[in-house]
Every structure is written in structure tokens, then in C-alpha cells.
Amino acid sequence: MSTATANQDILVHTEAAVTTITFNRVDKKNSITEAMYAAMADALIAAEADAAVRVVVFQGDMAIFSAGNDIADFLQQSSTQGGQPQDAGERPVWRFLNAIAAFPKPLVAAVCGPAVGIGTTLLLHCDLVYAGDNAAFSLPFVNLGLCPEAASSLLLPQMLGYHRAAEALLLGEPFMAEAALEVGLVNRVVPPAECNLLAQTQAKKLAAKPLSALIETKRLMKTGQSTAVSERMREEGASFARLMAGPAAREAFGAFMQKRRPDFSQC
């Protein structure tokens, strides 16, 4: 069964107990709008509730996973709705983050090309991640005058170690697939043409196993982490909203829209 949502920008396909969520906005580098967040949140909530679904896979195109937030849409939504933590249960982005962080069944991702911002941080909540050898991961929050999200300020140091996480988050420079493999962000690196197929193959292996055992094993591995993740996401959300209204973010986003280098000398 296949469905298209958010004007075809998110494709949701369920077959043989595997739901696949595909970024399908390649002409815009799979940048994510609020409507796309809503579609992904709905797909995760439906997959959790459906006993016939055992695994969820995230995938993009061979050339691009996701460029992160669609900046124009992000600025519009932020100006009209605000980014305060109390919106967490309502705004699509917060619904998605809460859904992926708490998802009890296995999550698999296939990543090719750039994975920017949320394109990388969502992977921290996946159980298996496969990367094309063209994958490039980046977390440019500071470069936008902002702070990390999706509990990445907690999870990334745990996974990479503090100094590597600091390099990724403070400098915001891309790191490639082999580096991601070395630090454990991805399970395997393959040619881009093989990446989505590998993720689907591994998802089918998982789907053939007893769901109750999968869920309990994942729960045990994450015991003690779920509360910390939820609390850190709320803390990040409050900081993100405060910084979003600050001069550094205004300069960063203004420079982006005007296609110039930002000047943070006064920020």
C-alpha cells in the first residue's frame, strides 16, 4: 500500500510489514516543510498503532537525503506560530521529533548524499543506519545562530565522544560516510545505488523476527535514556526559540535569503 502526502513531498509505502517513508522533494534538495513534518509524524503514529507494521525505513534519493529545514517555510512558520516549547504537542516538527524519539519498533535509515541538520539528527533515533559512500553529514546549527535539536546535544556526545561531537556541533562542518562509520553513526557504507536496497533487506530481516522481542530489546537498550531525551528536547526547544529571536539568527537567516556571508561581529 502506498500513499503520497504533503503534495507528494513525502511518500509512505507499506509492504510485507515494513513502512517506508521517502523524502520526495529532490528539486528542493529534500528540504523539509511543516507539511512534510506532519506527514512523517502521522506515518510514524500510524505505524506504531498498526500491529501489521514491524519496521519503519527512512530513505531519500541517491544524490540527497535531506538538506534539512526549508528555510523559507521555516521562517514563515516561526513568525506565524512561534517556536516555544508549549507548542511541542501541536506543531508538526515537535510532533515528529516526539514520535521518532519514542517510536518503539525498529527504525532503519538509508542515507545518500547530504544529510543536513535534522537530516542527521533524526538518525540518532534510528536503530540501523546505512550510508552511501557519497553521504555527507552536517550540523550547522551554530552557523545559523541556533543550537542543536532532537536531543542531539545529548546523544551525539554519547555516540561520538565529547571532542568529536564538539567539532561537529561547534564548527558545523560536514563529515563524510567513512568518518560516520568510524564513530558509529552508521552501520555500513555502500555504493549509493545499493543503499536503499540494503536498508530494505535489513528491514525485511527484522520484520521476520518476533515483534514483541524486537520491541522489548529496543526498550531495554534505551532504558534510562527516554526521559533524558525528552527533557533535553524540551531544553533545546526553549533555547532554540530564544536564539531564534536573537540577533545572530536574524543575521544568519537574512544573509541566507540575501545570498551573502553573514557578519557575526556584533552578535
pLDDT digits over 189-210, tens only? 999 999 999 999 999 999 999 9
For residues 227 and 203, give the distance between their C-alpha atoms in angstroms, rounded to a whole number. 27
Could you report the per-residue pLDDT of 121-168, keeping only the tens digit for each?
A: 999 999 999 999 999 999 999 999 999 999 999 999 999 999 999 999
Instruction: Name the helix (H) or strand (E) containing 59.
Output: strand 55-59
Instruction: Name the helix (H) or strand (E) containing 95.
Output: helix 92-102
CB contact at 8 A, 19 and 56: yes
Average pLDDT, integer, range 83-96? 69
For residues 111 and 132, give the distance between their C-alpha atoms in angstroms, rounded to a whole number. 6
For domain 2-191+210-258, which CATH number applies: 3.30.43.10, 3.10.129.10, 3.20.20.80, 3.90.226.10?
Answer: 3.90.226.10
Instruction: Name the helix (H) or strand (E) containing 130.
Output: strand 128-132
Can you give the pLDDT at residue 2?
A: 65
Put simply, whether the predicted model's pTM sits higher than 0.75 gets the answer: yes
Instruction: Name the helix (H) or strand (E) containing 223.
Output: none
For residues 40 and 5, give the distance between their C-alpha atoms in angstroms, rounded to a whole number. 9
Could you report the per-residue pLDDT of 199-255, keeping only the tens digit for each?
A: 999 999 999 999 999 999 999 999 989 899 999 999 999 999 999 999 999 999 999
Q: What's the grid cell of residue 224?
A: 534510562
Question: Residue 72 burial (CB < 10 Å; 0-12/13-18/19+)?
Answer: middle
Q: Mean pLDDT, the chain, as a whole number?
A: 93
